[in-house]
Each structure stands twice: as C-alpha cells, then as structure tokens.
Amino acid sequence: MKKIFALFFAGLVSTAALAEDAPDALVQRVTEEVLEIIRHDKDIQNGSTNKVIDLVDKKVLPHFNFQHMTALALGKEWRKATPQQQQQLTAEFKTLLVRTYSNALTSYKNQKVVYKPLKMAPSDTDVLVRTEIHQPGNKPVQLDYSLEKQDSGWKVYDVVVAGISLVTNYRDQFGQEVRNGGIDGLIASIAAKNKSLEANQKK
Amino acid sequence: MTKSLGLSPMRMGRQWALGALLVLACAGNALAEENQRDPYEGFNRSMFAVNEAIDKYAAKPVAQVYDAAVPLPVKAGVGNFFGNVGDLWIGVNSALQGKFADAGVDVGRLLINSTLGIFGLFDVASELGLEKHEEDFGQTLAVWGVQDGGYLFWPFIGPRTVRDTAGFGVDSFVDPVWRVQPVPVRNSMVPLRFVDVRASLLPADKIVEEAALDKYAYIRDAYLQRRRNQIFDGRPPRLDD
C-alpha cells in the first residue's frame, strides 16, 4: 500500500513538473521573480557580488544545464575528455559564468523586459525563447535563451546577448588552451581566472 | 552594450593606408596554427595592444570623466542627436538591402525626431513605436554577397572585417557630421560622438575583463557573432555544432 501510494505521489509530482511551465513561461516567471527581488534589494543595487550570486544560485541556476553549456563551449574536444575532466571543467566554467554575468545584474535599473511570442510545436524539445531589454534612450537589446526539454523540465543551455552567445564565444579560447596544455591545462586556466576574480572581489 | 563593440566613428584615412601596407607585410608570415576567420592575427594582436594603450591612457579616462560629469538627460540627448543624424544613412542602407518598409520607418524617424524631437535631442519616434534599426554599408555589402575577407583590428575604430572596413570607409565618407560647417563646430562634434560611444561601452568593459580568458579572442569572436546577427537582422540561421 505504501509503495502504491509512493508511486502515485511520484507520478503526481512528475506530471506536475511536466505541466509546470512552457519554456517561454518559465523564462518570464524566473526573470520577473529575479527582477522583483533586485528592485527591493539595496545591497544588490549597490553591487554586492555575494548577494547577487546567492540570488542567481537559488533562483536561476536550477533552470540551467551547465554540462551541456560546457560541452557546447568546448566543441568536439568534449568527447575526448574523461568523465572526471568533464565534471571539473563544468564546475570551473560554471563558477566563471555565474560570477561574471551575475555582476551584470547589479547594474539593473528599471529596464523593461519584453517577451517575444514563442513559435513552438508541441513535440519540440529544443527551443529559442526571445526577449528584449528596453531602456529609455537606447536601442532595445536582444536577449535570447536556448532551452532543451529534460525529464526535470526545460533547461537553459545557451544565453545570447545581441547575437553573441555567451557560451560559444568561448569556443576558440578553449581550443587555444587545449592546444597549449590539454584539457587539464584548460581546467587549470579557468580555475586560475576564478581565483583571481575572487581575490579581487575581497579587496 | 546597446552600441556597437568598436563602432567608434573616426576617419583615419592615412592610418588606414599605413595599416593596409602593414597587413600586406604581415600576410606573408602566417602563423602555423591559423584561424581561418583571423588570417592576420599577428598584425591584429599588435594593433590590439596599441589600441589597448590608447584606450587605457586616453579614450577610457575621457569617457569616464564624461560619464561621471555629464547629467543623464544631457548624455541621452547627445546619444539621440547623433542617432538621429545617422537614421538617414540607415534608411538608405535599408533600401539598398531591399527592405523598403524599414527604410520608410527610418526616414519617418528622422522626420519626427528632427521636428517633434527638437533637432533629434529626444527620440520621440521610438516612443511612438518606430523602432530604430542598425544598418551600415558593411551590412549592405554582406547582403549583396560580399564575403567578409577576414578579421582585422584597427586602432581607434577597433574590430572590422576587411569588408566592414570598406563599408566603414563609405559610411564615413557620407557621414554628415564630417561635413558640418563651420569647421570648429565639426571639430568638437566628431570627438564628442567618439566619447559618447566609448562612454556607452563602459559597462561592457568590466564584463569583458572578467569573462575573457584571452581578451583579444573574446572581443574578436563577440564582434564576429554580433555582425552576423546584424546582417541577418537578429535572426541568423543556426550554425551546426
């Protein structure tokens, strides 16, 4: 009986997760939640890196697939890496991306986000959700998210600002590091970069 | 981030001629590990270093002072003014690319902003729903089928492909700001626009510094991706990975 109940409960949860959010609704919900918090948080507005990373960690990162992002950034070398290297690389790349781009959120000032209508077939498992950041006196900035459908819901695997993919923009830099020092060399240089960013922040 | 990476408008005819000679000189000693999109990497990296120094000791400090000292409405007015001046040429390029509806919007923007927007100081047209486009002659050449010819990095004007360097030459040649009379007015408008563009890029500086493993490569790849996006008006076809 307990087992049946557990099964039933698990089924309920997973259908809830599946029915949860369409990709565009997910992007909109998370964006608005995060902006609402920033609007009321003086520390973040004053540039508190730790606080904004905390926020991103809690609200945004559960909807990201960093393994896919890292594989995309590395390109064909990804398959040659051992599982352990893949894991280390993903962890370091995640730290770098989160730190650098979370900081951009601290400069948020009343810009308005416009959500573009999503063209999507029910069977699609890979979609592009388009948004635009509007600010007075400036041309709107395109901000797009690539999402893929997974068992745990839709996950973002690329963010594209004004046509620049924050992920594939690393392709050549990663390739260069791998040519010079292999996958381990690449992991070491990202780790070193993360260390120096952290040290600068403490000052 | 809204304004272009390195679209800093400056006409540097003589430097270009010199630069072109240097390119030819460097083209001979191609690197062993050659990047197809960056065949002149050696030359580019040295120009990048030159530009970094100019930026560090001149352009950036001036832009920072401007950004801190000038009140926001004035900065917005300056940006709008130069934006308005540019809308005519943007309209011409829209038309040259066969986008006549866009060209109509561009000319409409110019008319509205020059009148209701008081000589372009206010971007009334955007508030009326006439969205600003991003066009230039380099994009027109691309739409006409001209290949980009490889990546180049120039002092002052920053990243440009060979095609976009030519496009920029044409853009500068027809640029009304360079024809303003009297000359002293022109001579203050040209640097003002340069400083305005540089100041608008200040927020992006920190991100690039923090995010890049190799700043040169990061800027190059961002420029090439962004140009591709502009050429396809924000809807580039997907690249296979």
3-state SS string for chain B: CCCCCCCCCCCCHHHHHHHHHHHHHHHCCCCCCCCCCCCCHHHHHHHHHHHHHHHHHHHHHHHHHHHHHCCHHHHHHHHHHHHHHHHHHHHHHHHHCCCHHHHHHHHHHHHHHHHCCCCCCCCHHHHCCCCCCCCCHHHHHHHCCCCCCCEEEECCCEEEEHHHHHHHHHHHHHCHHHHCCCHHHHHHHHHHHHHHHHHHCHHHHHHHHHHCCCHHHHHHHHHHHHHHHHHCCCCCCCCCC
State the pairing for strand pair A141-150/A126-134: antiparallel
Read off the pLDDT band of A2 (50, 70, 90).
Answer: low
Tell me what ipTM this predicted complex has: 0.84
pLDDT of residue B13: 46
Is the residue at B238 inside a domain?
no
pLDDT of residue A177: 96
- CA–CA distance, B42 with A109 (Å, rounded to integer): 41
Q: Residues near A196 by Cβ (< 8 Å), separated by ≥ 6?
A: none
pLDDT of residue B32: 44
Is the residue at B1 inside a domain?
no
Could you tell me the residue range of the domain that residue B174 belongs to? 9-231
Is the residue at B209 inside a domain?
yes
Cβ(B77)–Cβ(B188) below 8 Å = no
Is the residue at B146 inside a domain?
yes
Read off the pLDDT band of B204 (50, 70, 90).
Answer: confident
Q: What average pLDDT does range B26-39 have in this prediction?
A: 64
- Name residues 19-48 of chain B within 8 A of A (Cβ): 33, 35
Q: What average pLDDT does range B171-196 have in this prediction?
A: 93
From chain A, pick out residues whose CB is under 8 angstroms from the CB of B197. Answer: none
- Highest mean pLDDT out of A76-90, A139-153, B194-208: A76-90
pLDDT of residue B1: 38
| Residue of B90, B136, B225, B235 to mutate, interface with A, max A Cβ within 10 Å | B225
> What is the tens place of the pLDDT at every residue in B228-239?
999 999 889 887
Cβ(B151)–Cβ(B37) below 8 Å = yes
Q: Is B225–A75 a contact, with Cβ atoms under 8 angstroms apart?
A: no
Is the residue at B164 inside a domain?
yes
* A55/B238: higher pLDDT: A55
Q: Is B79–A138 a contact, with Cβ atoms under 8 angstroms apart?
A: yes
Q: Is A142–B229 a contact, with Cβ atoms under 8 angstroms apart?
A: yes
Query: What token pair was written down for A24?
Result: 């565009």
Q: How many domains does chain B have?
A: 1
pLDDT of residue B21: 47
Flag whether pLDDT at A48 surpasses 60: yes
Cβ(A153)–Cβ(A63) below 8 Å = yes
Read off the pLDDT band of A137 (50, 70, 90).
Answer: low
- Put simply, whether B60 touches A (Cβ < 8 Å) is no
Is the residue at B4 inside a domain?
no
pLDDT of residue A3: 60
Is the residue at B239 inside a domain?
no
Of B149, B151, B148, B159, residue with least CA distance to B48? B159
pTM: 0.84
Flag whether pLDDT at B23 surpasses 90: no
Is the residue at B151 inside a domain?
yes
